[in-house]
Amino acid sequence: MVKTKPADRNSTRDIPKPSNRWKFASYISFVVILVMAGILLYPMIFKTDKLSQVSDEDGTISLAVLPFDNLTGDSSLYYWQNGISEYLINRLGNSEELAVSSSQVVSDVLEGTRQVNAATFSPDIARKTASKVDASTFITGNFIGTGAM
């Protein structure tokens, strides 16, 4: 009869070691899960309301639409400066969330600053004009002619 020696239970040779790749992958997975949880929970924790900065006490947003800049170089198209802003005032004025200043009020303020016939409005002039008509936000822009006229 052949006698066999029982295996030593404390032998470390027989226990397989986990590879470093699996450790690294598990760390990366853990970090990705933490980042995703942070991104998803951030708005709930800090409750960022971007419109609260421009809203009045009653929840409306006061808005001034300034004349658009004519960058076409064609002085016969200056009527579009007020035409585009009038269109926006009429369309946005139907909203219950917006308090849109009339074009006459904006025009009066611009006349007071002698900017009513200016070809372009700097951001500083636009900001000051919006402030004078008690608007927290303003819209301005420009247009460039394209194609055959």
Mean pLDDT (the chain, rounded): 75
The whole-number pLDDT of residue 60 equals 77
- What are the domain boundaries of the chain? 20-48, 53-143
Most confident residue range from 31-40, 46-55, 58-67, 79-88? 31-40
Name the pLDDT band for 43 (thresholds 50, 70, 90): confident
Dist. CA 63–CA 97, nearest whole Å = 10
Residue 30 has pLDDT above 70, yes or no: yes
